[in-house]
Amino acid sequence: MNKQIITASVCLLAALSVAGITGKNFMEVKKPDELRPGPGVTQTKMLSDYFPDIAGTNADSTVYVMEGEQPGGKMLVLGGTHANEPSGYLAAITFVESGKVEQGTVFVIPRTCNSGFTHNDPQEGSPQYYTIQTKGGPRQFRYGSRAANPLDQWPDPDVYVHAASGQRLSGSETRNINRTYPGRPDGTLTEKASYAVRQLIDTEGVNLTFDLHEASPEYPVINATVAHETAMSIASNGMFELQMAGIAMSLEPSPTNLHGLTHRELGDYTDTLPLLMETANASQGRLRGKTNADLVLTGKDKCYVKAQKLGFLYVPYDETGHPIEERVGRHLQGIYEYSKAYSAQYPESPIVYNGLPSYQELFLDADPSELGGTQLGKYLN
């Protein structure tokens, strides 16, 4: 046989083998993590129940409904807006698995951008999973991408024009759900997903909405709450309590010229009071060193320690990192204090729940050797 044909055949076979192995791996990550809802969950719905157009697509996502025995206000918790920001995802899951609502109703969407959990960003070297030892044994959780999967929405335009405002952003932001609010029923899949969230808020009459995020330590808005002007009084009262609990939190007003984000558009287009919280996540930062599941869970990173010394960061950073317990704890304590402030301000529709660990229990009182997943696992089923 011709030598060239043999060489070409060998190369083709090798390429097909690699494609087969990695293709199988790629398909496997589409399988959603198994969640183990606790007794607080009274029913589950789908986002498509509020906007049927997304049924059967990767934009559809489970909505956990937690109804209290007494009537009250309604609260929505958005986790997993960005699938590479695990504290928001895990805080939402902890709520679903350990929370119990007494008054009012809480809706929790752990995977707000479900499509973002089905892939990873090229060149980021991200882990596909991280493992946490829980009450029910070791559990794997997906680490995904900031944006929806290009297989669900492709190609990106050169420039993404936010439909409601005409704001222009780089083309890849077209797949970032937190740049597509208030969404469009006839838009891209990501715009449809954000429209479905808006429909949920309108249909259920959600009073208070939390969007849980993480930011790289060099990002100026970090360890912060961003509030729409309508939610500012609740945010300031809640923040006072957070600071009393030893949690340094800054309060930022939602910029009026930055569009597509929950804290701006949900406040402008619905009656809900939107708040967005950010914690420090090294695994999504530009300055990070070795990238793996340990970094995701512990936040320990020598590059960030160096960057802190150089004055490049907006959060304190030392060798102890920012473990997942601290980050999830900030979110849970934040939801608690802000919802308490809401209930105080709107006593006719209070939201009261229990069963969730405080920041103190989850982080401050924890055995340091158990930080990085084990301590959080005690509150997961």
Partner 1 sequence: MSIELIIFLAMVVVFAGGCFLLKLPVSISMVLSSVVGALVGGQGIPLRHLVEGTFSYVDTILVIATAMIFMKVIQESGALDALSALIIEKFHKIPALLLCLIMLVIMFPGMITGSSTAAVLTAGSIMSPVLILMGVPMLETACIIAMGGILGMIAPPVNIPAMIIGGGIDIPYVGFEIPLAILTFPLAFLFVLMFGYKYAKKISYEEIAPKLNTEPREKFGFKVYIPIFAAIILMVVNKAVPQIPDLGMPLVFLISAVIGLFTGYKIDILKTCKEAINSVLPVLGILMGVGMFIQIMTLTGVRGLIVTSCISLPNLLLYVAMAISIPLFGAVSSYGAASVLGVPFLMAFLAKDQIITAAAISLIASLGDMMPPTALAGIFAAQVVGLKKYTDVLKRCIVPALILIAWAILIIVFSPQLAAILP
Q: Which residues bind partner 1 (CB under 8 A)?
A: 18-19, 21-22, 25-26, 120, 122-125, 128, 155-159, 161, 166-171, 173, 218-221, 255, 257-259, 286-292, 301, 303, 306-307, 310, 312
Task: Identify which of residues 72 and 217 has a Cβ nearer to partner 1 in the complex.
Answer: 217
Residues 6 or more apart whose CB falls under 8 angstroms from that of 63 comprise 44, 45, 46, 47, 49, 107, 108, 109, 200
Task: Identify which of residues 22 and 236 has a Cβ nearer to partner 1 in the complex.
Answer: 22
**In angstroms, rounded to a whole number, what is the distance separating the alpha carbons of residues 370 and 347?**
39
Cα distances (Å, whole numbers) of residue 192 to 52, 237, 266: 10, 34, 14
In whole angstroms, the minimum distance from the beta carbon of 213 to partner 1 comes to 12
* Tokens representing residue 28 in the block: 């496997």
* Tokens representing residue 260 in the block: 């597509």
Q: How long a stretch of residues is the chain?
A: 381
Q: Quick check: 253 and 300 in contact, CB under 8 A? A: no
In whole angstroms, the minimum distance from the beta carbon of 264 to partner 1 comes to 11
Task: Identify which of residues 221 and 364 has a Cβ nearer to partner 1 in the complex.
Answer: 221
Residues 6 or more apart whose CB falls under 8 angstroms from that of 90 comprise 79, 132, 141, 324, 328, 376
Q: Quick check: 280 and 300 in contact, CB under 8 A? A: no
Dmax of the chain from CA atoms?
85
**Amino acid identity at 254:** S
Task: Identify which of residues 171 and 355 has a Cβ nearer to partner 1 in the complex.
Answer: 171
In whole angstroms, the minimum distance from the beta carbon of 310 to partner 1 comes to 5
Task: Identify which of residues 222 and 335 has a Cβ nearer to partner 1 in the complex.
Answer: 222
In whole angstroms, the minimum distance from the beta carbon of 217 to partner 1 comes to 11
In whole angstroms, the minimum distance from the beta carbon of 23 to partner 1 comes to 9
Task: Identify which of residues 46 and 163 has a Cβ nearer to partner 1 in the complex.
Answer: 163
